[in-house]
Amino acid sequence: MPSSRGSLRPRDGPASLMSPPLAEVAVAEFHKKIKEAFEVFDHESNNTVDVREVGTIIRSLGCCPSEGELHDLIAEVEEEEPTGYIRFEKFLPVMTEVLLERRYRPIPEDILLRAFEVLDPAKRGFLSKDELIKYMTEEGEPFSQEEMEEMLSAAIDPESNSIHYKDYITMMVIDEN
């Protein structure tokens, strides 16, 4: 990405004499955060990203929309005639609102644990590989084959061919923090 190195003129200067109202500062910070996340996927540095990466960008900003909700969001930011690319100008206002309204909050750890327990009514403490595959690829918003393989590679204990979900959740949570 071309940088404006060599110029000591600040692109946006430090706070002026009068501090702007808190809400404005918050929005400005959101804008910068969103811009950063967007730019990382803007491979050609022309303020557009591939529509297939929009979900990743939104989730990287801490939101957890379902596939259905994501679909709706994409419809909001797409062009009238979809080009396969999403422009930053359209993405920014929509995403800012999402962040301001704190929409699509992530799932808390305990709810996630309960979900696994629902699928394990016998309370064995684990799900077999086949059971996990069945639920993930047949229920809800089914996983693609790639998503399934990816989850299995980290979750499955190869010796027992099962997923001990409590340990798995703990491991994932530690990794994120």
Q: Residue from 24, 28, 71, 83 that binds another protein (CB under 8 A)?
A: 28
Residues 92-131 close enough to bind another protein by CB under 8 A: 106-107, 111-112, 114-116, 118-119
| Close Cβ partners of 84 (under 8 Å, ≥ 6 residues apart) | 50, 51
Q: Which stretch binds another protein (CB under 8 A): 53-61, 73-81, 90-98?
A: 53-61
Number of amino acids touching another protein (CB under 8 A): 61
3 binds another protein (CB under 8 A): yes
CB 98 within 8 A of CB 90: no
Q: How far is CA 9 from the centre of its chain?
A: 34
Binding mask of the shown chain, residues 148 to 167, with x at each position contacting another protein by CB under 8 A:
--xx-xx-------------
CB 107 within 8 A of CB 64: yes
Question: How far, in Å, CA of 71 to CA of 144, rounded?
Answer: 16
Residue 64-93 contact track with another protein, rule CB under 8 A, x = bound: x-xx--------------------------
**Binding window for another protein (CB under 8 A); candidates: 28-36, 71-79, 91-99:** 28-36
**Checking phi first, is residue 20 left (phi over 0); if not, alpha (psi -120 to 50) or beta?**
beta
Among candidate residues 35, 84, 43, 87, the one with its CA nearest the CA of residue 61:
35
Query: Rounded distance, CA 109 to CA 89, Å?
Result: 35
Chain residues that interact with another protein, rule: CB under 8 A:
1-6, 8, 10-12, 14-15, 25, 28-29, 32-33, 36-37, 39-41, 43-46, 48, 55-60, 63-64, 66-67, 106-107, 111-112, 114-116, 118-119, 135-136, 139-143, 147, 150-151, 153-154, 172, 175-176
